[in-house]
Structure 1
Amino acid sequence: MTQARTARARVRTGMAFEDHAEVISVEGDRRMRAVSPDRALRAYRVGAQVTPQLMWL
């Protein structure tokens, strides 16, 4: 039997603007500016095991 491992990359906060999106990691050591929120998600994809998601509040 094989156990699946789940890795999680967490973003503390992110903001979507008309012309770009910005995200900051939970640890505060990673900050990114992307052309859109969907493009920012690509940086958090790790192989086929991790699927990043947006949560709008």
Structure 2
Amino acid sequence: MPEIVVYAVEGRSAEQKKKLMVKITEAVVDTFGVDKDRVVVSVVETKAADKSRGGVLYSER
């Protein structure tokens, strides 16, 4: 059972996340040759104030 975890800063709509999950599922099905019901995709969101790049918080960008 392939399981894919996407880490992202919060702020995307439910529709955007669903679209991403569907496309990732399709890619795994096409690449690994597994049934789509075996593919698990999770989106883990982080608050912008709790994530940084280069020492700068995403909330400050």
Say yes or no: TM over 0.5: no
- Structure exhibiting the larger radius of gyration computed from Cα positions: 2
TM-score (normalised: structure 1):
0.32
TM-score (normalised: structure 2):
0.31
Relative CO higher for 1 or 2, CA cutoff 8 Å, sep ≥ 6? 2
**Structure with the higher fraction of residues in helix conformation:** 2
